[in-house]
A and B are shown apart, each in its own frame.
Chain A
């Protein structure tokens, strides 16, 4: 099993460009989420999904869109990148259950917006 994969690992964008960060998992986890990590800020939740066709906003959703058409994939879209979106982005998954607590993190994508 590959677990949680993220592509690309690194990306540089110019202000105003758009791009999609990919997240895929092969563990059949219903719950998928996106976090951003900024220096001195810890990880903050952007969006999450509890199953195909269901998404919701987290703590810092502005400037990002998500959709969930399959269980395996949960892409994060930046429609018009801004320097404030320079960050490291992590995708995380887990079983959608009251008893499930362990999140499985992808390796992260480092995004720089100039």
Chain B
């Protein structure tokens, strides 16, 4: 079974600074997806960024980028130029890619990020 570990329950950063959230995972699969989801106080789950395991290039979405280390099974999220609106819970998630297409998301326990003015 796959597991996802987020070792930082809480983090804080000053507005405009950069912060990195850590995530490690355990799997014997070779084909999979990794995701970072954001959950603001509104409770809505928002997909921030995804990474396909077969791609060596790290994914980037505006101020959000990842450092994907497949051999180390590490998938960290870097937020640049932090904004007050980035204050949220951030969840790392894993999904196997299979022929059947019925695979589920496995979530880490989350990191609560606070951006201070």
User: Are the chains A and B members of one assembly?
Assistant: yes
Q: Which residues of B contact A (CB under 8 A)?
A: 4, 9, 33, 35, 42-45, 47, 50, 91, 95, 97-102, 104-105, 107-110
Q: Is the CB of B99 within 8 A of A98?
A: yes
Q: Is the CB of B108 within 8 A of A42?
A: yes
Q: Is the CB of B109 within 8 A of A40?
A: yes
A50, A97, A101, A110: which contacts B50 (Cβ < 8 A)? A101
A2, CB-defined interface residue at 8 Å:
no
Q: Is the CB of B101 within 8 A of A105?
A: no
Q: How many residues of A contact B (CB 8 A)?
A: 27
Quick one: closest A residue to B1, CB to CB? A59
Q: Is the CB of A31 within 8 A of B102?
A: yes
Contacts A90-B45, A101-B50, A105-B45 hold; do A45 and B99 have CB atoms under 8 A apart? no
Quick one: closest A residue to B92, CB to CB? A42
Quick one: closest B residue to A45, CB to CB? B104
Closest 5 CB pairs of A and B: A42-B107, A105-B45, A42-B109, A43-B107, A101-B33
Label chain B's interface by main secondary structure.
loop
Q: Is the CB of B102 within 8 A of A102?
A: no
Report Cα–Cα, A44/B95, bound state, in Å: 13
Q: Is the CB of B43 within 8 A of A31?
A: no
Q: Is the CB of A108 within 8 A of B43?
A: yes
Q: Which chain B residues lie closer than 8 Å to A45 at the CB level? A: 104-105
Report Cα–Cα, A102/B51, bound state, in Å: 11
Most A-side CB within 10 Å, residue of B9, B101, B108, B110: B101
A31, A43, A58: which contacts B91 (Cβ < 8 A)? A43
Could you write out 5 A-B pairs with CB less than 8 Å apart? A40-B109, A98-B98, A101-B33, A102-B47, A107-B43
A100, CB-defined interface residue at 8 Å:
yes
